[in-house]
Amino acid sequence: MVKAENIEKAYKTAKERYAEIGVDTDKVIAQLKKVKLSMHCWQGDDIHGFLNPDQELTGGIGVSGDFPGIARTPDELTADLHKALTLIPGKHKVQLHTLYAVTDQKKDFNEIGPEDFKYWVDWAKKEGIGLDMNPTFFSHPKVKHNFTLASPEKQIRDYWIEVGKKSREIANYFGKELGQQSINNFWIPDGFKDNPIDKQGPRERLIASLDEIFTKKYDEKNTIEAVEGKLFGTGIESYTVGSHLFYNNYAISRDKLWTIDAGHWHPTEDVSDKFSAFLPFGKGLMLHVSRPVRWDSDHVVIMDDALIRITRSLVRDNQLERTNIGLDFFDATIDRVAAWVIGARATQKALLQAMLAPIDQLKKAELSYDFTTRLAVTEELKSYPFGAVWDEFCLENETPVGTDWLEDIHQYEKDVLFKRN
């Protein structure tokens, strides 16, 4: 157990070190407190949901591992989320999907409405958090030949259009009830495994479907839509209808947010470079923080070089207010609650390290072509005591410091998770 007096002592020294280069650590801590992460509920149950939990995962989605204690009911999932939220500094949000509706009736995806998410709203009010939404366009028999909104069959498109419309009603309900804007993220798995003849037709159908879904206007104080592209997926290796460029253009032309998932790009691409190219033209971003390993494998987020570049870009270009940061990964080889905590805390640490820099001074050096100072200072910053500031941030938010949170997880495993099996 880390002693509070040792944390305060280390923080005092770190504060003095950063002050020497013009960085006020107290202000940085206050800035980080304002950043809300959007936790993805599906890490807790391997994306089974409650509407058709035995349905095989489709859309190129797969979860590996069988760590004991998977959440099987709404109460188990919210209990696990609550435990994770107590170990992550600050107040945040939770992302849901259509398939997480809680109803005692037999309902199809296109019949799910706000009334089926009252359970979640009541829970969110108790937790003091917001909710984001995602319409589910996978794990359903009406995903026909890997197509939904871009399907050549009108009846298939009409079904999924209704799912999208219902999702917007739900997101608006979240915003009105919780007093926080609900981001409604649209991702579809449509595409071809092998080379198509017609590349234009599916995209024209997708445009028409999305335009119909978004016809009704909602107060953006309550909800706003985001559209998410993908490089490829299992089963659609040759052609993805909703590509990055497609959604980039759609977001700009329709005044929507563009969702950038860190795992949906070529491994050698710098995802962080996309932000400054889009934001001068676009409304804003939804960011899904994920970690690809060789492909879009959605590993638990760690504080690696890719995440550091992402957070630096957002902080240095002052784009945090226009960017919604969500998590999106799933791993059943480790404790699912611990995965949330590891990924969220890693993201916050990367944000903190990005904020702990004399950014204005570095920009001045750059503008005066003093690239020597730019490189020297950014290299020296890597060994500055940001860990002591992180510990203070945890202490001020009354969350465990260092690996102390792991003791809580192990106890939760004994008391709760292992008893489920």
CA dist 80 and 69 (Å) reads 10
pLDDT above 90: percentage of residues in the chain: 91
The pLDDT tens digits for 201-253 are 999 999 999 999 999 999 999 999 999 999 988 889 999 999 999 999 999 99
Q: Is 264 annotated as a binding residue?
A: yes
296 labeled part of a ligand binding site: yes
pLDDT (0 to 100) of residue 128: 97
* Nearest CA-CA partner of 337 in 259, 260, 414: 414
Give the angle subtended at the CA of 102 by the CAs of 260 and 221, to the nearest 5°: 50
Spatial distance between the Cα atoms of 354 and 349, rounded to a whole number of angstroms: 9
Radius of gyration of the chain (CA): 22
CA torsion 77→79→81→85, rounded to 10°?
180
What residues form DSSP beta bridges with 147? 144
Overall average pLDDT of the 21-49 stretch: 96
Query: How far apart are alpha carbons 270 and 359 in whole angstroms?
Result: 21
Contact 207, 249 (CB under 8 A): no
φ/ψ bin of 22: left (φ > 0), alpha (ψ from -120 to 50), beta (otherwise): left
Strands 285-289 vs 257-261: parallel, antiparallel or unpaired: parallel
The pLDDT tens digits of the residues spanning 149-202 come to 999 999 999 999 999 999 999 999 999 999 999 999 999 999 999 999 999 999
From 34-43, 64-73, 110-119, 183-192, the region with the lowest mean pLDDT = 64-73
Task: Tell me the whole-structure pTM to 2 decimals.
Answer: 0.95
Q: Which residues are known catalytic residues?
A: 187, 228, 230, 261, 264, 288, 296, 298, 328
Strand partners, 291: 299
DSSP bridge pairs for 260: 287
Cβ neighbors of 109 (< 8 A, separation 6 or more) are 51, 98, 99, 136, 140, 142, 163, 166
Q: Which of 42-56, 68-82, 184-198, 204-218 has the lowest mean pLDDT?
A: 42-56
Q: Is 97 helix (H, G, I), strand (E, B) or coil?
A: strand
User: pLDDT tens digits, residue range 364-421?
Assistant: 999 999 999 999 999 999 999 999 999 999 999 999 999 999 999 999 999 999 999 7
User: Which residue has tokens 């750059």?
Assistant: 366
Average pLDDT, integer, range 260-277: 93
Cα–Cα distance, 373 to 355 (Å, whole number): 18
* pLDDT, average across residues 241-266: 96
Query: Is 133 in a helix, a strand, or coil?
Result: strand
Query: In the CATH hierarchy, which fold is given to the domain comprising 35-358?
Result: TIM Barrel (3.20.20)
Would the annotation count 97 as a binding residue? no
Predicted confidence (pLDDT) per residue in 133-147, tens digit? 999 999 899 999 999
What are the b/e assignments for 344-380, b being 16+ CB within 10 Å?
bbbbbbbbbbbbbbbbeebeebeeeeeeeebeebeee
